[in-house]
């Protein structure tokens, strides 16, 4: 199976339908600094899985924060027609004094679910979905890193947003745990129809997961190139097609990094 490599720098993502996310001419400059992001045009279709790749410091987290409405762009527009997107961080960022179930319950309460019994049922369903049945009463320190990220994923899903933003969520995990979570994430994505924007600087991970890989340049961050990944799921990180496309993307990533003297 071969991966189709898009020739142009823009891959049309269902332009006719209402998008899950649309960024038009987005720029971001922090006070007193040089522009971090500049002229970003990016459309994510409903149910699409897009991986954002780029060197450290190129503005990936900044871009996710703009989509999550945690910060405002300096120029251009950010649209998330469904409302607020759910965001999952590299560190699980669970409240350590709450149990796994209570962490999820809190997200449900913030969503406005008032019935305690309904919330308990929904929390159990979400724990089941991330394969953590029976973990309701466990505190974060009693869970492994992989389990904590599963709870964080369940908490993000509890927001019931059709858009899930993930900022290097598996970067701190060992390779085997990461591999299992890749499988789980794809299973969930296929089951839920969520649009996912997944940030990573791991090229293989991007190709393993995404339908589209978007490479950002640095200083300022711009969309440098995009690839559509037509390798059918389930993929494995060691598949030849994944490796081949990763080599090509890595070459471009290296060029982007050397262009900025890193
Ligand atoms: N709140 C802020 N105030 C000032 N500068 C910021 C702020 N947030 C980010 N920056 C700067 O913007 C640039 C991009 O940061 P960002 O965290 O988005 O990069 P990144 O691509 O996510 O990097 P990494 O891969 O290391 O996570 C960096 O130079 C950073 O110092
Ligand atoms: Mg970051």
Q: Which residue has the higher pLDDT, 6 or 78?
A: 78
Q: Residues of the chain with pLDDT > 90: what percent? A: 84
> Is ligand 1 within 6 A of the CB of residue 201?
yes
Give the rounded percent of residues in the chain with a pLDDT score beyond 70.
93
- The number of the ligand 1 atom at minimal distance from the alpha carbon of 201 is 25
Task: Give dist(CA 177, CA 126) in Å, integer.
Answer: 20
Instruction: Give the per-residue pLDDT at 16.
Output: 57
Report the candidate in 82, 70, 63, 71 with the shortest Cα–Cα distance to residue 23. 63
Query: 164-173 pLDDT, tens per residue?
Result: 999 999 998 9
Per-residue pLDDT for 145 more than 80?
yes
- Do 132 and 168 form a contact (C-beta atoms < 8 A)? no
pLDDT of residue 40: 97
Residue with the larger pLDDT of the pair 10 and 196: 196
Centroid of chain to Cα 218: 19
Distance, C-alpha 204 to centroid of its chain:
15
Q: How is the chain split into domains, by residue range?
A: 1-85+161-262, 94-160
Measured from the CB, is residue 37 less than 6 Å from ligand 1? Answer: no
Instruction: Look at strands 163-167 and 49-53 and give their pairing.
Output: unpaired
Is the shortest distance between the CB of 61 and ligand 1 below 6 Å? Answer: yes
Q: In what order do the strands lie in the sheet with 86-88?
A: 86-88, 163-167, 195-200, 49-53, 212-216, 223-228
List the residue whose alpha carbon is closest to atom 7 of ligand 1.
30
Q: Buried (b) or exposed (e) across 39-78, using 16+ Cβ within 10 A?
A: bbebbbbbbbbbbbbbbeebbbbbbbbbbbeeeebbebeb
Q: Whose CA is nearest to atom 30 of ligand 1?
A: 57
Determine the pLDDT at residue 261: 58
- Ligand 1 mutation pick, 26, 27, 30, max ligand atoms within 8 A of CB: 30
Ligand 1, atom 17, residue with closest C-alpha: 61
Please report where in the chains the tokens 């940030």 appear, as a residue. Answer: 199
- Say what the pLDDT of residue 32 is: 85
Ligand 2 centroid distance, CA of 168 (Å): 7
pLDDT-derived band at 219, boundaries 50, 70, 90: confident
CATH architecture of 1-85+161-262: 3-Layer(aba) Sandwich (3.40)
Helix, strand, coil share (%) of the chain residues, nearest 5: 35, 20, 45
Taking residue 169's Cβ as centre, other Cβ atoms within 10 Å add up to: 24
Q: What is the pLDDT of residues 230-252, one digit of tens each?
A: 999 999 999 999 999 999 999 99
> What's residue 13's pLDDT?
47
User: Strand 75-79 and strand 195-200: pairing?
Assistant: unpaired
- Testing ligand 1's pocket by substitution, the residue of 57, 67, 91, 216 carrying the most ligand atoms inside 8 A of its CB is 57
Tell the residue nearest (CA) to atom 2 of ligand 1.
30
Please write the tens of the pLDDT for every residue from 82-132: 998 999 988 878 999 999 999 999 999 999 999 999 999 999 999 999 999
Mean pLDDT value across the chain? 91
Q: Which of 186, 81, 75, 165 shows the shortest CA–CA distance to 178?
A: 186
pLDDT higher than 70, residue 29: yes
């Amino acid at each position: 199976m071969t991966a189709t490599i898009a020739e142009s720098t823009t891959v049309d993502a269902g332009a006719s339908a209402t998008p899950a996310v649309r960024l038009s001419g987005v720029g971001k400059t922090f006070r007193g600094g040089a522009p971090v992001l500049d002229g970003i045009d990016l459309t994510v279709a409903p149910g699409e899985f897009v991986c954002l790749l780029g060197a450290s410091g190129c503005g990936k987290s900044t871009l996710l924060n703009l989509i999550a409405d945690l910060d405002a762009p300096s120029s251009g527009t950010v649209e998330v027609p469904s409302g607020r997107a759910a965001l999952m961080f590299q560190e699980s960022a669970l409240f350590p004094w709450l149990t796994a179930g209570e962490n999820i319950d809190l997200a449900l309460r913030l969503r406005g679910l008032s019935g305690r019994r309904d919330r308990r049922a929904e929390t159990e369903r979400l724990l089941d979905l991330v394969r953590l049945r029976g973990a309701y009463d466990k505190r974060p320190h009693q869970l492994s890193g992989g389990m904590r990220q599963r709870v964080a994923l369940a908490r993000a899903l509890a927001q019931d947003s059709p858009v899930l933003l993930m900022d290097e969520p598996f970067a701190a995990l060992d390779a085997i745990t990461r591999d299992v979570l890749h499988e789980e994430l794809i299973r969930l994505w296929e089951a839920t129809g969520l649009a996912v924007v997944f940030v990573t600087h791991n090229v293989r991970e991007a190709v393993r997961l995404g339908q589209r890989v978007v490479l950002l340049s640095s200083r300022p961050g711009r969309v440098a190139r995009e690839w559509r990944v037509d390798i059918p799921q389930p993929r494995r990180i060691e598949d030849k097609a994944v490796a081949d496309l990763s080599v090509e993307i890595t070459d471009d990533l290296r060029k982007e990094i050397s262009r900025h003297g890193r």
